[in-house]
Amino acid sequence: MTTAPAPVALLQHRFASALPELTHAARAAEAPQPQLVVLNDALAADLGLDPARLRTPEGLGLLTGTVVPEGATPVAQAYAGHQFGGFARLGDGRALLMGELVDADGRLRDLHLKGSGRTPFARGGDGLAALGPMLREYVVSEAMHALGIPTTRSLAVVATGRGVRREEILPGAVLARIASSHLRVGSVQFARASDDTDLLRRVVDHAIERHHPEVASDPQPHLAFYRAVISAQADLVARWMLVGFVHGVMNTDNMTLSGETIDYGPCAFLDAFDPSTVFSSIDEGGRYAYANQPAAAEWNLARLGEAMLPLLADEQDRAVEIATEALGAFRTEYATAYSTGLRAKLGVLHADPAEADRIGTSVLELLEASHVDHTSFWRHLATAARDDAEPVRGMFLDLAAIDGWLVEWRALSPDAEAMDHLNPLYVARNHLVEEALAAATGGDLAPLGRLLEAVSAPFHERPGLERYAEPAPADFGRYRTFCGT
């Protein structure tokens, strides 16, 4: 007797079933010559997927969307969003939600493909993605995960064998991404713009079920949900700021309800510490500059509150009052998360908070004035806590100022050991990302592999990885990133 082989993945279709108004059934474009570029074996195993099977033609079919497991319902998701402040109805123009998987911890996770071909939301776009940007999302999202920052994960990048027309013809690829969901602030905005309160309620109830089940029993579950998203985002953006991450395109369609970082486009890590840093070529006004990220998040959360008004109270004025009061918590929650995190980076969590905060603020001013490399400063500072201040001193122009600061900081008895556990040695530095992507696009995957190795264990110093801890060479110049490529 023969039995049919089990499908390569058992996919659920909870989102598609619960919210058909937010979905469009869609199919992936053919991948003429699929070739696996990178696979996240550990993540695959965590999702109950067999990495060996994902490497077969059937597995590559799943990872590019060209093989749809029995029972799965791939959909493009509809959402809306404020993009650089302007409202638009959008949706996955080049992405597919293949369905949901249950991971080893029993959590529901989306399997989502990016670059899988045109959907009804594609507008003028070709629905495709180039290999470089998909690898960039892979590297940076995995680096963020290893830093302990909530994020979507990357399962695989598969080159399709199809050329993608940009300024030149580039190799095409599909990124397989995993998220606790792809519900965004823009998903709620889409429901609100549809003027259908029942739909709005179902979207929010679906988000509650998936991300904040604890609020379901609250006497005001929708308000409690709004508060929970505010807290999650305040905490997330504080973590970005502490590690020097610039998202680059914080539109409301790129802000999740789960509190995971999503949509790695023009993102980058700071080299020199400069609050006004903008990497994205399209962010001409600096709306999403490093220092503006908390304010941008708060603005987005105000849009979420607006979209939820019909669920907060029957009378609009009362609903506005309730939403405004709830949003008021963002600034305090952000400030608490940030200052606690900064004190931890300084190794002085045990010290008087007011004094430690003062010291934290003053060192940031010194970093900015001397254009100090953000990541290596914190790491060298732990060395200074162990009695060798020379690496830190060597980074500053104003020696008298840093020496004075070091005296004050040492008086708080910093804990070097604790600092090394939360100040990374290896981040996805811009020059290293560029080097790895250029090599990979030319067929050499070795630099990408080494970079992934470094950033996947960012706190643990290892011999042979010295250059991954070093600042960009002086001739690397000003860094620019590009969106939607």
Are 365 and 274 a contacting pair, CB within 8 Å? no
Q: How far is the CB of 81 from ligand AMP (least distance, A)?
A: 8
Nearer to ligand AMP, 170 or 319 (CB): 170
Residue of 92, 235, 253, 271 marked catalytic: 253
Instruction: Choose from Mg ion, ligand AMP, none: what does 120 bind? Cβ within 5-8 Å by kind.
Output: none
> Among ligand AMP, Mg ion, none, what binds residue 171 when CB lies within 5 to 8 Å by partner kind?
none
Torsion angle of C-alpha atoms 399, 402, 403, 408, degrees rounded to 10: 170
With beta carbons less than 8 A apart as the criterion, state whether 406 and 413 touch: no
CB of 125: closest distance to Mg ion in angstroms? 12
Closest to ligand AMP by CB, 118 vs 421, is 118
Look at residues 110, 128, 111 and name the one whose alpha carbon lies nearest to residue 119: 128
By a kind-dependent CB cut-off of 5 to 8 A, residue 59 interacts, out of ligand AMP, Mg ion, none, with none
Is 253 in the active site?
A: yes
Applying CB under 5 A, does 256 fall inside the site for Mg ion?
A: no
Q: Smallest gap, in angstroms, from Cβ of residue 475 to Mg ion?
A: 33
Q: Which is nearer to ligand AMP, 130 or 178 (CB)?
A: 130
Contact residue for Mg ion among 189, 254, 256, 375 (CB under 5 A): 254
CB of 193 to Mg ion, least distance (A): 17
Nearer to Mg ion (CB atom), residue 253 or residue 415: 253
Q: Please report where in the chains the tokens 């080494």 appear, as a residue.
A: 450
Note the residues at the interface with ligand AMP (CB under 6 A): 90-95, 121-122, 125-128, 249, 254, 263, 265, 483-484
Taking the C-alpha atoms of residue 342 and residue 288, their distance in angstroms, rounded to an integer, is 21
376 lies in the binding site for Mg ion (CB under 5 A)? no
DSSP class per residue in 340-357: HHHHHHTT-TTS-HHHHH
Q: Which is nearer to ligand AMP, 95 or 452 (CB)?
A: 95
| Binding partner at 258 among Mg ion, ligand AMP, none, C-beta below 5 to 8 Å by kind | none
Beta-strand relationship, 268-269 and 245-246: antiparallel
Q: What is the DSSP letter of 52?
A: H
Helices (H) and strands (E) counted in the chain, each on its own, are 18, 10
Mark the segment that binds Mg ion (CB under 5 A) among 121-129, 250-258, 274-282, 340-348.
250-258
Does position 189 bind Mg ion by CB under 5 A? Answer: no
Q: How far is the CB of 262 from ligand AMP (least distance, A)?
A: 8
Q: Are 259 and 150 in contact (CB under 8 A)?
A: yes
State the minimum distance, in angstroms, from the CB of residue 90 to Mg ion: 8
137 binding Mg ion? (CB under 5 A): no
- Choose among Mg ion, ligand AMP, none what residue 484 binds, the Cβ cut-off being 5 to 8 Å by kind: ligand AMP
Q: How far is CA 37 from CA 159, 176, 207, 441, in A?
A: 6, 12, 33, 10
Query: Residue from 46, 92, 260, 263 that binds Mg ion (CB under 5 A)?
Result: 263
Task: For ligand AMP, give the closer residue by CB, 94 or 222.
Answer: 94
Distance of CA 373 to the CA centre of its chain: 22
Q: Per rule CB under 5 A, is residue 261 in the interface with Mg ion?
A: no
Q: Which amino acid would we find at residue 455?
A: V
232 three-class SS: helix
User: Residue 237: which of 293, 318, 174, 313 has the closest Cα?
Assistant: 293
Contacts for 56-60: CB closer than 8 Å, 24+ residues apart: 56/8, 58/8, 59/8, 60/31, 60/34, 60/35, 60/36, 60/158
- Give the phi and the psi of residue 466 in degrees, each rounded to 5: -55, -45
Q: Which is nearer to ligand AMP, 125 or 275 (CB)?
A: 125
Q: CA 158, 163, 165, 167 torsion: positive or negative?
A: positive
In whole angstroms, the minimum distance from the beta carbon of 93 to ligand AMP comes to 2
Check binding of 92 to Mg ion (CB under 5 A).
no
Enzyme catalytic residues = 253
Residues binding Mg ion (CB under 5 A): 254, 263
